[in-house]
Amino acid sequence: MDAHGGWIATAGDLVKLIVAVDGYASKTDILNAASINMISSPSLNNQNYAKGWAVNSANNWWHTGALDGTASFIARTSGQYTWAILLNKRIIDAQSNNFWNELDALPWDCISTNTAWPTYDLMLNPSSNSSNIKIIKTSNNSVTLDWVKGNGTHRLLLCSTNEISAFPLDGKEYKADSTFSLGTNLGSENYAVYSGIGNSCTVSNLKPNTKYYFKIFEYNKNGNTGNNALYKLCSAPSFSLQTPTSFVNQESLDELKLYPNPTNENIKIITTKNLKYSNITILNESGMNIQKIESESIKNSTIEFSQYNPGLYFIQIQDSTGNKITKKIIKTEQ
């Protein structure tokens, strides 16, 4: 019985869960009508209890929690009000009944005395995450990333030398700084390195030969949310990378050009530098590796491209020390 009446959740998350099974059309339910009717119908043995819900003839559903040292109360009403109350105190002496009666009356008093409700919606979290995260360029002390946006208005990128274990909270914004360790620490050295509406970021102040972990969260923040940040936490994409060991002159890759672009046949790599022992990887629009070429030198070399279908491709070139750069290529009809 150690978990009897207890939840591991925020009050806001509990309200979202209840709204998702309340049988009302204001938000899409995750259960069908038959299932909702089944869990809310009174038991033949007790007309005031359904399957996990206390119920009454007014079509109100509720449940209380009484984990030691706490009290909680969730409810869904016939008037389409929903609430979740979590307290870090519970009365267990002779005043216990008065305590629970007053807790029950609290939300009803709030509803009856309120004259206006906010017009914004605190449940407008994004429904799809960013995707197709790619490393565009790396050095021993920085990395440039880009990604395909989800359907949020903004996104927050966290970086750490450990696996990402912190999560942002709805209603809270975090100061981001692309210089690693200068942005907000959300906990356990999980630093905010980007927060904005874009789809790319360069993170600096990294250490050579060190593994870094990243996770990106979509969030909505606009007039419809009351300018509150509302995050999508589930299945947020994450990835890691190892910075190169030694210093490399990134300019050797930065000045590299591909010609012609767009192309309908072959691609020529144009550079004044003689990059030794380079790897060339060709990726399709989804980021899938479709060809890898190893070369001792790529100076003024040619990549056969005529066999590929028209579309968008990426050519990633990496030198012997791990420094890499990614270029976009458009393949046209022959």
Shared domain check, 322 and 265: yes
This prediction's pTM? 0.68
Is 169 among the domain residues? yes
Asked if residue 124 is part of any domain, the answer here is no
Whether 163 and 89 map to the same domain: the answer is: no
**Sign (positive or negative) of CA dihedral 199, 289, 273, 307:** negative
In this prediction, residue 1 has a pLDDT band, given cuts at 50, 70 and 90, of: very low
| pLDDT tens readout for residues 218-263 | 999 999 999 999 999 999 999 999 887 544 455 555 677 888 999 9
pLDDT of 251 reads 54
Which CATH number covers residue 136?
2.60.40.10
Domain count, the chain: 3
Do 233 and 163 share a structural domain?
yes
Mean pLDDT over 106-111 rounds to 95
Name all contacts of 248-254 with Cβ < 8 Å and 24+ positions apart: 248/139, 248/140, 248/319, 248/321, 248/322, 248/323, 250/137, 250/139, 250/323, 252/319, 252/323, 253/137, 253/317, 253/319, 253/323, 253/324, 253/325, 254/137, 254/325
pLDDT tens digits, one per residue of 151-175: 999 999 999 999 999 999 999 999 9
Domain enclosing residue 292, as ranges: 251-331
pLDDT confidence tier of residue 269, bands split at 50, 70 and 90? confident
Same domain, yes or no: 237 and 256: no
Residues 236 and 289 in one domain: no
Kindly state whether residue 32 falls inside one of the protein's structural domains. Answer: yes
The lowest-confidence range among 119-133, 153-167, 180-194, 245-259 is 245-259
> Domain for residue 266, yes or no?
yes
Among 120-124, 198-202, 299-303, 310-314, name the one with the lowest average pLDDT: 299-303
- Same domain, yes or no: 207 and 273: no
Mean pLDDT of the chain: 89
Write the pLDDT tens digit of every residue in 36-91: 999 999 999 999 999 989 999 999 999 998 888 889 999 999 999 999 999 999 99
Domain boundary among the residues 193, 211, 242 is at: 242
Q: What does the H/E/C string look like for 187-230?
A: CCCCEEEEEECCCEEEEECCCCCCEEEEEEEEEECCHHHCCCCE
Q: What is the reported pLDDT for 277? A: 52
pLDDT beyond 60 at 138: yes
Pair (326, 271) in one structural domain:
yes
The residue that leads in pLDDT, 243 or 112, is 112
Percent of the chain with pLDDT over 70: 90
- Whether residue 2 is contained in a domain is answered as no
Query: Quick one: 17 and 106 in the same domain?
Result: yes
Give tens-digit pLDDT for 282-291. Answer: 988 877 889 9
**Would you state the pLDDT for residue 74?**
95
Residue 5 DSSP class: T
Judge if 230 and 258 occupy the same domain: no
- pLDDT digits over 305-319, tens only? 888 999 999 888 877
pLDDT band at residue 265 under the 50/70/90 scheme: confident
Do 158 and 259 belong to one domain? no
**Residue 274 sits in a domain of what CATH number?**
2.60.40.1930
Boundary of a domain, candidates 219, 242, 265: 242
Residue 5 lies in a domain: no
